[in-house]
Amino acid sequence: MKSGSNRKAQNAGADSAPRPGQPQGSVPLGLADTVAQSLLHIQTELGGSPDLQIRRIQIGGERRLEAAAVHLSGLADPAAVNEFVLGSLLNHTEELFLDRTDGGADSRGEEASLPQQILSRAMETGEALLQEEWKEIMLAILSGDTAILLEGCRAAILCGTRGGEQRAVSEPTSQLVVRGPKDGFVESVATNIALIRRRIKSAKLHLEVLKLGSETHTHVAMMYMKGIAGEDLIREARDRLNKIALNEILESGYIEELIQDKSFTPFPTIYNTERPDVAAGNLLEGRVVIIVDGTPFVLILPAVFTQFFQSAEDYSQRFDIAILMRLVRYLSFLVLILGPSVYLALTTYHYEMIPTTLLINLLSQRENVPFPAFVELLLMETAFEILREAGVRMPRAIGQTVSVVGALILGTAVVEAGIITPIMVIVVALTGIASFALPAYNMAIAGRIIRFAFLIMASIFGFYGITLGLILLVAHMSSLRSFGVPYLFPFVPLSIKGHKDTLFRMPLWLNGADKPPAQMREEMPDYMLLTTGHEEQLPPLIRKNCRTEEENREE
């Protein structure tokens, strides 16, 4: 916000100095008395941008009045501008002026509220309001609204004509289900809100909108269920959102990074989803949903560890199947972080644990390979990471090549060339597939990072390193909090009631009329809650803003 206002102030300052090129340079940019002047100001502010559409009209019957409608082509919906804005201005204002000329003589006070009258009697658009603030008017035009300027009036009528091209609602690309709804969020915040509202037709579903980013003015919507979500959680989320000071917010990741409890951790502490059904489900469980304009990824908070292992499909399949799927996911996380390191520890330090025949087999394979197991594993894992990264960023058309080349080279050729043992290929492939089995991509990335740490520990210390690594990992995780909720919540601190939907998904008839997390949170003893928004744990940027805010207050 700060830098934006600074820039504006500078502009105003520059304009107030008389400049030969600009006839109206002496006045700061703003709404002027005449339409022509105001239009010139708008054009100057936008740098004479050609996509600014100005339609100058004359409204009224016998007494004509200069007016102009301004919008940006491409952002505004042309049909709405034509029909509801210009149409209503041209068609309905005549009788308005007739009325005014009749009654104008006896009440002079009415003169000032001509825009008000147009607003209340002529405008056909659903959203319209009178605005005097120059900044707001510019912001509205830049967001696709139409501004109507009237001669002799220092206010503009803003009509909601936002539209333009948008991606249609389509199937989510990152979180797929076999059975379940197939619609996904899109880039428009309004559509996303509608997608959620369509699922929860309840008056308790509250929505708060704010604009963040001093340059982008991104709409950020916060949704929650009043009465289900904890009041302190809502307050905390709102506070942290308001403290964000960034110039640009282009994705929900920007916000996620700023409002999470702790910056230095590989683990995500805020969930994100592309699926409206997941967002709706989490709202009903008392979480807060944050929708950012311009991205289909919606933030859900607070998020605990177990949440990243849930998939929308768990609730559409029968519970026994869901339990199995979930256990497979936890198992795959374990395989992901420990698979290569356990293999390494077993083969280099504790080979007595491997059954003898297998050990002989392994050793005969290793005979032809020049590298120690650690180097071998590191080579293979790095190659796999490169392959995966290439596969993600590749243009679609040549995406097939990567998998073919990868499978051939890393699978077969590398073994035949005697660089890697075949069993190593199995280990790495299993780890790679395990990382894809996790429903949350960011948790999979966290696992991939941690895997390398374990790999190094295991290569130096064997199982000793792995055990200590596990202790450190659990300690780190139990020191994490997501908006005041301990990250390992139903496990540590232990809550039997919280376990109905974590490791297992209990059947709905057991789960059904259960307490939402918010209520469970309220029932949790005080010492488990600790602080929401612990100052020390907030990210540096927000902490800095808090401090400057306090300083301002003191001044």
Which residues would be at the binding site for other proteins (CB under 8 A)? 349-350, 352-353, 355-357, 461-465, 467-468, 471-472, 474-476, 478-479, 486, 488, 491-494, 525-528, 530
What is the torsional sign of CA 242, 246, 250, 252? negative
DSSP state of 167: P
Considering the complex, what minimum distance in angstroms separates the CB of residue 405 from other proteins? Answer: 38
Contact between 353 and 346 under an 8 Å Cβ cutoff? The reply is yes
Which CB sits closer to other proteins, 319 or 461?
461
Which CB sits closer to other proteins, 107 or 357?
357
The gap between the terminal CA atoms of the chain, to the nearest Å, is 20
Q: For residue 252, how many C-alpha atoms fall within 13 Å in the half-sphere facing its CB?
A: 25
Which CB sits closer to other proteins, 37 or 537?
537
Whose tokens are 């909108």? That residue is 209
Q: What is the 3-state secondary structure (H, E, C) of 387-429?
A: HHHHHHHCCHHHHHHHHHHHHHHHHHHHHHCCCCCHHHHHHHH
- Identify the bridge partners of residue 29 per DSSP, sorted by sequence position: none
Which CB sits closer to other proteins, 272 or 495?
495
Task: Give the C-alpha separation, 501 to 508, whole Å.
Answer: 10
Which CB sits closer to other proteins, 275 or 521?
521
For the record, the structure tokens of 507 come out as 């059947």
Considering the complex, what minimum distance in angstroms separates the CB of residue 446 from other proteins? Answer: 18
For the record, the structure tokens of 234 come out as 């809502």
Considering the complex, what minimum distance in angstroms separates the CB of residue 525 from other proteins? Answer: 7
- Residue of 203, 212, 208, 204 lying closest to 193 (CA atoms): 208
Which CB sits closer to other proteins, 205 or 466?
466
Question: Amino acid letter at 446?
Answer: A
Which CB sits closer to other proteins, 519 or 531?
531
Considering the complex, what minimum distance in angstroms separates the CB of residue 346 from other proteins? Answer: 8
- Residue of 300, 265, 298 lying closest to 282 (CA atoms): 300
For the record, the structure tokens of 466 come out as 């792995």
Question: Amino acid letter at 58?
Answer: Q
Residue 35 to residues 83, 289, 506, Cα–Cα distance (Å) = 22, 43, 67
Considering the complex, what minimum distance in angstroms separates the CB of residue 522 from other proteins? Answer: 17
Angle among Cα 197, 198, 202 to the nearest 5 degrees reads: 55
Considering the complex, what minimum distance in angstroms separates the CB of residue 340 from other proteins? Answer: 17
Considering the complex, what minimum distance in angstroms separates the CB of residue 462 from other proteins? Answer: 7
Which CB sits closer to other proteins, 526 or 554?
526
Task: Give the 3-state secondary structure of residue 211.
Answer: strand
Considering the complex, what minimum distance in angstroms separates the CB of residue 180 from other proteins? Answer: 33
Considering the complex, what minimum distance in angstroms separates the CB of residue 256 from other proteins? Answer: 23
Which CB sits closer to other proteins, 290 or 362?
362
Which CB sits closer to other proteins, 24 or 348?
348
Considering the complex, what minimum distance in angstroms separates the CB of residue 502 from other proteins? Answer: 14
Considering the complex, what minimum distance in angstroms separates the CB of residue 355 from other proteins? Answer: 6
Count CB-CB contacts under 10 A for residue 418: 11
- Residue of 358, 362, 369, 384 lying closest to 416 (CA atoms): 369
Count CB-CB contacts under 10 A for residue 190: 15
At 278, which helix (H) or strand (E)? helix 276-284
Task: Give the 3-state secondary structure of residue 459.
Answer: helix
Considering the complex, what minimum distance in angstroms separates the CB of residue 80 from other proteins? Answer: 56
Task: Give the 3-state secondary structure of residue 386.
Answer: helix
Contact between 348 and 366 under an 8 Å Cβ cutoff? The reply is no
H helices present in 285-355, as ranges: 319-348
Which CB sits closer to other proteins, 117 or 478?
478
For the record, the structure tokens of 305 come out as 């560890």
Which CB sits closer to other proteins, 68 or 480?
480
Which CB sits closer to other proteins, 526 or 555?
526
Contact between 259 and 241 under an 8 Å Cβ cutoff? The reply is yes
Considering the complex, what minimum distance in angstroms separates the CB of residue 77 from other proteins? Answer: 54
Which CB sits closer to other proteins, 133 or 523?
523
At 4, which helix (H) or strand (E)? helix 2-16
Considering the complex, what minimum distance in angstroms separates the CB of residue 357 from other proteins? Answer: 8
Contact between 134 and 30 under an 8 Å Cβ cutoff? The reply is yes
Count CB-CB contacts under 10 A for residue 340: 27
